[in-house]
Structure 1
Amino acid sequence: MNRTRVAITAAGTVAAAVLLSACSGSGSSSATFDPKVTTEVAAATTAVAALTWNLPAGEPTTLDPALSALESNSTVVSNLCEPLQTQTTSGKVQPGLATSIDQTDPTTYVIHLRSDVKFWDGTVMTATDVAYSIQRVLDPKTGSSWSAWAGAGATATATGADEVTVKTNTPNALVHNYFATPAFAVVEKAYADKAGAKFGTAAGGVMCTGPYKLQTWSSGSNIVLVKNEAWWNTSHQPLVDKVTFTFTTDASAQIAALRSGSVDGQFSVPVSGFKSLSSQGTMLFNDSYAMEFLAVINLKGALVDVKTREALQKSVDYAGIAQSIYKGTAEPLRFIVGPATWGYGKEVYQSAYDKLPAAKQDLEAAKSTLKASSYSGQTVTIAYAVGNDEETKMATVIADSANSIGLKISLKPLQPADYVALYSSPDARKGIDAFVTAGYLDFPEPVEYLQYWTAGSYYNFAEYANAKYDAAIQAALAQFDDTKRAQDATEAQAIIAADYVNVPLVSQYVNVYYSKKLAGLVPAPSYLYTPWLTSLGGK
């Protein structure tokens, strides 16, 4: 899902990057660092009375799962409010509050619920609560970005004591993935109705079924969760009794707190802390569904000619970005959705991916391509957010290389609030040809992201229009056969890649650090939607 990630800094400003991209530090060491991708770790075995965990993007704006499309929100909410199904660290979907979900026809899903689930207040979860929670996300008054899963519309109805039926207005092969996201997180109807607009706030709280429950939320200070002793999942009980979440956004302060031991762990550790923290505790990396790219948002200005855009891409120093800026914790991308997002049809995706231009700088080819274009010296304005150190460095690297081939690049640093406005205001985008941004898939399904460039999509800022591309995406959305959907998706991929609507850059690994006393947690994209705290404990 394309979302803006927002952080409130100590100075009260807003720092942003698109979606749930990893938080970056200020400054990065030039010392050698050799990261390893980790998919398995030894399980935690002992109980931990309490720990402190930092949220690098700042204090959550809400703990309402329907409004959890921000990194800080999701990192906490994933341990409080459960969706119908869960994601494993490899992206596979497993039963959760629903024991099974049957698709009885292309637009109908029958959800079979567990009968032994209770909310924290002891109230039994019912089909009415589940149907209410789904409809609440779909209700425009809620303002949930998760409503996008329904596309042309959907309904949820309690059709039995432990059964809910969901009907969509059109077939959509992606729907089953959303059952393991906050789009289908369950809240207690009576509690949410009573809380009204305060639901999810420090004053109103939340009422869910997860392995942890909210104890306190001291605005501006911390959020404290405690173990839910009555959690239904008796086979995977939490080992940590109490967790205090802090909101430090300054990179140097984050690293200092982790090194001192005053904070026990954090996702999205700043690049500048990788080496020192690796020698002190457990610093882990894994593939992610994230991508950094240069989004072209003006196809009528200086970048009107596809050859000009192609020259810009050929000029990018991919190796420099991956190694010098990200210290080897990012993979260069040939396309905006890379190999880690291929949850099916891997051979089809790989074959198509290999045919795309290599993610490798070729300045001579870039100069030749630019010479063959209609470009005549117009200024190309590229924006970036000053609050993100790595993206600032990438913007500089991109500009330097592009200028060296004959393009005239003007960098436009945007204060965080102005950067955020790019996603909601056409006026804010005026005078900008492209901007450095990041994206994130909620699950390993490329079509989820590729649909954003179809005609009429909210995120199609450049108003890219290609009827063949739209047709391929619509075919993929309606195709329930994985191999055929991969074929439709790669057809769309080839079309938009040839039009150079975006300049793919790198995919940064998801990372996590925790102190030596802890064990059990694997860094994985699923931490945003799955109760990751249940894996953490003592050695």
Structure 2
Amino acid sequence: MTKTPTNWTSRDDAAVEDMIRRGASRRELLKMLMASGVAVAAGGSVLMNATAAVAATPTVGGTLKAAGWSSSTADTLDPAKATLSTDYVRCCAYYNRLTFLNGEGVVEMELADTIQSSDAQTWEIKLKSDVLFHNGKMLNADDVVYSMNRHLDPAVGSKANSLAKQMTEITKVDDLTVKIVLAEPNADLPTILSLHHFMIVADGTTDFSTANGTGAFMSESFEPGVRSIGVRNPNYFKAQGAYLDSFEFFAIPDNNARVNALLSGDIQLAAAVNPRSLRMLEGHDSVRTEISTAGNYTNLNIRLDVPPGEQMEFVEGMKSLINREAIQQSVLRGLAEIGNDQPVPPSNRYHNPNLAPRAFDPEKAKFHFEKAGLLGTEIPMVASDAAGSSVDMATIVQQAGAQIGMNLTVDRVPSDGYWSNYWLKSPVHFGNINPRPTPDILFSLLYASQAPWNESHYKSEKFDKMMIEARGSLDEDKRTAMYWEMQEMVANEAGTIIPTYISNVDGVTNKLGGMKPNPLGGMMGYAFAEYVWLDA
């Protein structure tokens, strides 16, 4: 057993921590430790402890450059219209929500001081006082009423309209109090208000060429589809405030280019790194990975309202042709959990553990394709790097189809414009869904008959009625049973194939501290800018 020398002191620990902050490599540090009489094994332990100590000590100042994987000329500073990860990152930096979902999935108050209800239908929201917008305006109830009502205005085109529709009354009680009445009881309202779309904007705001929020950063520059720059808000209402002086965020759609930018030091955070690149990162002492599994998934969508998805036999064939284990191990390098074609992940307390994933059964798939009269017909699967790992997934499905005479082609299209031109539109295409904290949110956004992101155009009156009933039930056993049945309905009736729940991997420089997992997705649920710091 190896030990550090008995004369090793806290001063020596401090010296190692100082070298780490100054950018010394692991090789240089081990060489120094061995010269001091520390064995290799013990030296590794010393470095681990020192690195942890450095990472846990916030440093104020510096500029962070971070790269996501998707962007568009339709990028927006309007929280109601936010669609891509780049939108969410900016909104989290420039605005605040009434509530915030912490790393444990627990709702915390943010702009709200309290949110209370005695019946889960009528809610009273008390706001924090002395909160300033970036233009100096004081936050009040009018801002909240205006922000919530925007989601109900068809002219706005809010992505959260289907969630907001349950709010039948949104009124100001006094300057710091708002009342929200729901059409039906919904105990999840405080959680719903923590979603990115429900950021609070100033009363009357119609110009979103810049951001006037209450957030930890102020918008200095915004070029849709190019980049954004935020600078620290000196009047932020939270005592700590942001650690960074500023941050720049943009997209590098190509995974290898994104990783290389991190390795070269051009950026300090590379979001959503493809698992194939992990070995590249592991070979460099200057970077590390932040891994979390929160329910993100890339799915294969078959529209049920157009050929070939109009024939359920084709959908059944595709579900039997998905080799989930191959996708998990070969495409995602084990960084995923097997999925069962519905969106509620195992980490969610309402996940149905009895719903078994479809088995990989090529012969069964062939039977269904023949029954549909489609065996041998050329059918394109639209994939893109914009939907993480979809090209690799499509290739595995294509190869499995070739073994049984099914002519599935991979139509690889550019990342730019994928979400506006192909997603929700192509007959067979891939999507990529970020985590959502409740089944009701997932179902409302993705599977209700009028859901804005109904990827397979699934429609079921029974499902719609159950969704409303489960939403308002205060009986947890009944609610759980209904959510389990709804998951079975989606898995068996919808045209969405969810082979795995993907672990998100963000690559970061070792100088970046403060990163933690969050149930709303990678990059700390896209809110990293407010909470991370850079060591000098």
Check whether TM > 0.5.
yes
Alpha-carbon shift at residue 180 of structure 1 (Å): 0.8
Question: Aligned to 2:330, which of 324, 328, 334?
Answer: 324
C-alpha contact (below 8 Å) 1:62/1:73 kept by paired residues: yes
SS in structure 1 opposite 2:325?
Answer: helix
Q: Which runs of 5+ in 1 are unaligned?
A: 1-39
Question: Aligned to 1:474, which of 443, 468, 473?
Answer: 468
Distance 2:69 2:407 in 1: 36
Alpha-carbon shift at residue 223 of structure 1 (Å): 2.3
Q: Taking every aligned residue pair, what percent have the same amino acid on both sides?
A: 20
Pairwise mapping of residues 91-170 of structure 1 onto structure 2 (< 5 A)? Answer: 91-170=105-184
SS in structure 1 opposite 2:93?
Answer: coil
Residue range with higher mean Cα deviation, 173-182 or 412-421: 412-421
Deviation per residue, 1:110-168 (Å, 9 max, x gap) = 10111131122333211122222222232222222122212355332211121011123
Question: Aligned to 2:208, which of 200, 203, 221?
Answer: 200
Alpha-carbon shift at residue 366 of structure 1 (Å): 4.5
* Aligned residue in 2 for 1:188: 202
Distance 2:244 2:120 in 1: 42
Question: Aligned to 2:533, which of 527, 534, 537?
Answer: 537
Distance 1:227 1:89 in 2: 23
Distance 2:234 2:381 in 1: 49
* Aligned residue in 1 for 2:65: 52
* Aligned residue in 1 for 2:381: 383
Question: Aligned to 1:259, which of 252, 260, 263?
Answer: 263
Pairwise mapping of residues 283-362 of structure 1 onto structure 2 (< 5 A)? Answer: 283-298=289-304, 301-302=307-308, 306=312, 308-340=314-346, 342=348, 344-345=349-350, 349=351, 352-357=352-357, 360-362=359-361
Residues 210, 473 of structure 1: CA spacing in aligned structure 2 closer, same or farther, 3 A cutoff? same
* Aligned residue in 1 for 2:20: none
Alpha-carbon shift at residue 318 of structure 1 (Å): 1.4
Q: Does 1:394 align with 2:393?
A: yes
Task: Give the total of aligned pairs.
Answer: 475
Question: Aligned to 2:84, which of 70, 74, 77?
Answer: 70
- Residue 521 of structure 1 aligns to which amino acid in structure 2? M
Residues 458, 386 of structure 1: CA spacing in aligned structure 2 closer, same or farther, 3 A cutoff? closer
SS in structure 2 opposite 1:121?
Answer: coil
Deviation per residue, 1:326-350 (Å, 9 max, x gap) = 22222221232243451x34xxx3x
- Residue 533 of structure 2 aligns to which amino acid in structure 1? G
Distance 2:59 2:430 in 1: 44
Distance 1:423 1:221 in 2: 21
- Residue 354 of structure 2 aligns to which amino acid in structure 1? D
Q: Does 1:82 align with 2:96?
A: yes
C-alpha contact (below 8 Å) 1:81/1:187 kept by paired residues: yes
Distance 1:87 1:418 in 2: 29
C-alpha contact (below 8 Å) 2:303/2:456 kept by paired residues: yes
- Residue 397 of structure 1 aligns to which amino acid in structure 2? I
* TM-score of the superposed pair, with normalisation by structure 1: 0.79
SS in structure 1 opposite 2:117?
Answer: strand
Question: Aligned to 2:190, which of 154, 176, 187?
Answer: 176
Alpha-carbon shift at residue 511 of structure 1 (Å): 2.2
SS in structure 1 opposite 2:389?
Answer: helix
Q: Which runs of 5+ in 2 are unaligned?
A: 1-51
* Aligned residue in 2 for 1:409: 408
- Residue 187 of structure 1 aligns to which amino acid in structure 2? V
Distance 2:397 2:180 in 1: 46
Deviation per residue, 1:54-100 (Å, 9 max, x gap) = 23323672222222222101112201100000111232211111011
Question: Aligned to 1:229, which of 228, 234, 237?
Answer: 234
Residues 270, 366 of structure 1: CA spacing in aligned structure 2 closer, same or farther, 3 A cutoff? closer
Residues 382, 469 of structure 1: CA spacing in aligned structure 2 closer, same or farther, 3 A cutoff? farther
Distance 2:237 2:525 in 1: 18
C-alpha contact (below 8 Å) 2:473/2:479 kept by paired residues: yes
C-alpha RMSD over aligned residues: 3.1
SS in structure 1 opposite 2:132?
Answer: coil
Q: Which runs of 4+ in 1 moved over 6 A?
A: none
Distance 2:408 2:227 in 1: 43
* TM-score of the superposed pair, with normalisation by structure 2: 0.79
Distance 1:214 1:418 in 2: 27
Residue range with higher mean Cα deviation, 298-307 or 323-332: 298-307
Residues 44, 483 of structure 1: CA spacing in aligned structure 2 closer, same or farther, 3 A cutoff? farther
